[in-house]
Amino acid sequence: MKDEFLSPGQRMMQRFRRDRIGMISTGFVVVLFLVAVTFGTLSWLDVPFPADPNLTSLEAKLQPPSAAHWLGTDNLGRDVLARLLHGAYISLSVGFVAVFVSLAIGVVVGAISGYFGGWVDNVLMRVVDAIMCFPTFFLILTAVALLGPSLLNIIVVIGLVSWTGTARLVRAEFLTLRESEYVRAARGLGQNSWAIIFRHILPNAAAPIFVTAVLGIPDAILTEAGLSFLGFGVQPPQATWGNIISDGKSYILDAWWLILFPGLAIFVSALAFYLAGDALRRAASSKSETQ
């Protein structure tokens, strides 16, 4: 199909498919998502595969990687591979759901601010500026400490704190698109403001919003890992990548695998999301049209 007959979204995906690094990163993200769904389901069904991540055995504690335990065992004899695989569910749950919460808030605030402008824009952007003045991680840490460490609290707090960047992006898109010809035509036909916002403008601003969502997932994963490492995340015996590292920090000289493997899981997963998001950003940018 010729380029002139393709929609902007189809042209973006066509450019994205030409990006080898982006496609490889996306493939890894898909595999990670399938792992998280699979082992999250096994956790709900209480199926101990490849081993029970919470089964302790003091006779097998701090064993290095071997045929019996591919990634070794921790200080309580628990299988590190099983805990990493089941911990992927927590990390991806936090990443996807927290980003969904932040997108829902950011899109609504940014759309209202950018479309209506005037005093509405001034008030909402001052609220955004006030929130952005606080260091995000310490604000999240304080909120979780007050509410209590749990998976639901972590997801909600991260989502409620991290929407400001999305709001600014959506506002900028709406300031540009609200003067478009199709928006003027919709106003002329008597459509109300909410119909114009959600039926006409928002779909045309979907590409940068989607890119922002993909880039926000690794930030949420890293935040959850940091909270778990500090003891404010999901509490034991539930395995998360952050608390596996936290449990292993006291044995860093004797059991290097307790730090290395969960650290690699966090690093490679975050890198894959960043590379995939960056490839999407390049594909969605106007500069790509001239390449």
Instruction: Specify the pTM.
Output: 0.87
Instruction: Tell which residue, 53, 59, 91, has the closest CA to residue 234.
Output: 91
The pairs formed by 213-216 with CB atoms below 8 angstroms and a separation of 24 or more are 213/99, 213/103, 214/273, 214/276, 214/277, 214/280, 215/273, 215/274, 215/277, 215/278, 215/281, 216/99, 216/102, 216/103, 216/162, 216/165, 216/166
Q: What is the mean pLDDT of each run of 10 residues along the chain (291 residues)?
A: 60 85 93 93 87 90 92 93 92 92 94 92 93 86 86 90 92 89 85 88 87 92 91 86 91 91 95 93 65 41
Instruction: Give yes or no for a cis peptide into 203 (omega within 30° of 0).
Output: no
Place of tokens 């101990």: 48
Domain boundaries in the chain?
3-290
CATH of domain 3-290: 1.10.3720.10
Instruction: Give yes or no for a cis peptide into 50 (omega within 30° of 0).
Output: yes
Residue 203 and residue 8 in contact, taking contact as beta carbons nearer than 8 Å: no
Q: Tell me the C-alpha distance between 187 and 78, whole Å.
A: 63
214: left (phi over 0), alpha (psi -120 to 50) or beta: alpha
Q: Tell me the C-alpha distance between 94 and 92, whole Å.
A: 5
